[in-house]
Amino acid sequence: MTYKSIRGNIKGMSGEHQAEVLLTLICTLSLGIGFFGSLFDLITEDTARYFYVASYLSGGYFGLTESVQFLMKGKCNVDVLMILAAAGAAFIDYWLEGAMLLFLFSLSNTLQHFAMGRSRNAIRSLMKLRPAEALVRSADGTEQKVPVEALKLGDIIVVKPGERIPIDGTIRSGKGTVDQSAITGESAPVFKEEGAEVFAATFNENGILEIKVTRGAGDTTLAKIIKMVEQAQNKKAETQRFLDEFESKYAISVIISTIALILIPYYILDQPFDPVFYRAMTILVVASPCALIISTPASILSAIANAARSGILFKGGAYLEQAAGIQAFAFDKTGTLTKGKPAVTDIIPISGSENELLRLAASAEEHSEHHLAEAIVNEARRRKVEFIRAEDVQAIIGKGISAKVNGAKLKIGNRYLFEDNLKDLSEDFNNTLEEFRNQGKTVIYVSKDDSMIGAMALADQIREQAAPTILELADLGIVDITILTGDSLNVAQNVAEQLNITNYHAGLLPDQKVELIEKLSQKKAVAMVGDGVNDAPALAASHLGIAMGAAGTDVALETADVVLMSDDLTKLPYMIRLARRAKTVVWQNIIFSLAVIAMLVSSVFLFDLPITLGVIGHEGSTLLVVLNGLRLLKNS
């Protein structure tokens, strides 16, 4: 996480959370000065105690207020136990130990709050895609901008080239290509004409569109995506209930035990108060779950740092633990398994060479901004083909382009541009092109002076890392792989066959992806890997949402639990191995911490363990679990 992103998280916090960050820093500084100052004889023990008191006040402030609120509701949690343990340590003059307990307690709470604005940021990122206003055309032909929320069903809005569509509707007049990848995930813009459905937040590439509003601002496909993200994230929060119950039971049991250790010996067994209270405080200190509390973050944070160095950004420790249990993967296709950009795959000249056909087409398309034109020009540059100056270049909306090159009239476009010419082509030529279409490729024709001279096939390219990643996941025991895409069935089938994936679903809208993820999740722990806004609900609904970082949209990055910063799919197997290793270390630390607590508590009764040895054992176990966790900093 960069400094800028951390600063952004802090700015997005409430005033209370900002104050918690400040108090944690004060607690750290006070503890450091008190400890190191007395260690190196820079200050006296009495002076050090003042700094420990400052650590108590700053590190324990929010814990104390939280404890009071819980106790007033008749509840108890580990916060209460930590405050009592620190108070007990101070009462018997062990200020340093108490200050360290409160420091660790304050730090862990502060770190958790960095992710609290995540859901809010996800919604903000989604809403940025939708224009705030729409241009409404009245019955008398006048036009005026109104807030999108003010639009009514049946209103006619006008969307110009280069603008995002503000509302769901159907085209009443006009035609052009619309990039709706943000909603459907389709790899190529779609040609739209009268009667076609369009979605809010999609991009009108060319043509003036008159759109009849069919859904209100609160009922658009985009609004549904927002709602699904919120619901899915709220469901995830419920998984913390088990941990809360454990904390409460542990805290209550220790507090009751400590009180009993004072009251029973003193009032019933008639033992002297001082040794009774000393023993009870020793129990309270050694039973405080300092090592237990730090055991998990010490391991998880080390693993997260390891992952970050490798270009894998976890949003929190819970997601690292979740990754260890993943049994199945669901992949979006466009921009995830594929590069998200078309490239020329085949050149079929009727006369002349491939390079000559490519040279003519690229010369005409050189200055076009269309995504297919860019692919043709890039292929020509890759082959180092020389361009010819084109003149009288004209776009034919929804069909292609025309231009004059060396005095000849060229046309490059789809089948709709050449309806009269296609019937004259040979059967073998047409069969070849039909086979390309069956493979999910886009076919572009090229004519010269109204005579067909060839065609080209273009397709989104599979990432080089996709195939080895699938194989490596299989080596880790994850063989349940599914492709979920909004693209056509032919495209999905072609990609699945190349990657040897048997499960794939095509033509999906965001809610359909969520339904499939939920079905898969009922059987196995599923990770969803995607990059687009349309993937956001599925990312949130899965057990583990993984976003492609460099190409991922803001909302995918905000909604995801894990981000692959370099878009490198080969990081997925490494992530799984690291998560499994971290889970092993975490359980080693938990079992060790509980064993030490049990041993120290038993020693108090069996051997009258002095509080000094109790603190040494307690803090020693904390150090050991931290060192064990730090092993995860090494690459696996």
Strands 203-204 and 176-179: antiparallel
Do 330 and 517 touch, CB atoms closer than 8 A?
Answer: yes
Closest CA to 159 of 139, 145, 141, 142: 145
Contact 84, 259 (CB under 8 A): no
CA distance 188 to 458: 11
Give all strands (DSSP E) within 510-569, no chain letters. 526-530, 544-548, 562-564
The confidence score (pLDDT) of residue 608 equals: 86
H or E element that contains 291: helix 290-309
pLDDT of residue 233: 46
Distance CA 532, CA 538 (A): 10
DSSP state of 282: H
Closest among 371, 370, 408 to 391, alpha carbons compared: 408
Which pLDDT value is given to residue 472? 95
Name the DSSP letter for residue 404: E
What's the confidence (pLDDT) of residue 334?
83
Q: What confidence score (pLDDT) does residue 287 get? A: 82
What's the confidence (pLDDT) of residue 285? Answer: 74
Alpha-carbon Rg of the chain, whole angstroms? 32
187 strand-pairing partners: none
Q: Are 458 and 442 in contact (CB under 8 A)?
A: yes
* pLDDT on residue 63: 83
SS3 content of the chain, % helix, strand, coil (to 5): 55, 20, 25
The conformation of residue 385, written as its DSSP 8-state character, comes to: P
Strand partners, 210: 158, 173
Q: Quick check: 619 and 100 in contact, CB under 8 A?
A: yes
CA atoms within 13 A on the CB side of 76: 14
Q: Six-digit token pair at 316?
A: 């929190």
Clarify whether 332 is annotated catalytic: yes
Tell me the residue length of the chain.
636
Buried b (16+ CB within 10 A) or exposed e, 145-160: eeebeebeeebbbbbe
Integer angstrom CA distances of residue 614 from 298, 593, 599, 606: 22, 14, 10, 13
- Taking the CA atoms of 355, 359, 360 and 366 in sequence, report the sign of the dihedral they define: positive
Please report, for the chain, how many H helices and E strands are present, in that order.
22, 23
Record the tokens describing residue 511, joined without a space. Answer: 């809610």
Tokens of 202: 């999609």
CA–CA distance, 605 with 608 (Å, rounded to integer):
6
- Closest by CA to 597, choosing from 630, 627, 628, 619, is 619
Q: Which regions of the chain are under pLDDT 50? A: 1-10, 112, 115-120, 122-123, 232-233, 235-240, 243, 551-552
**Residue 119 has what pLDDT?**
38
Consecutive H or E run containing 207: none
pLDDT of res. 487? 82
Q: Which of 155, 168, 332, 531 is catalytic?
A: 332
Identify each DSSP E strand in 148-185 by its residue range.
156-159, 163-164, 169-173, 176-179
Predicted pLDDT at 132: 86
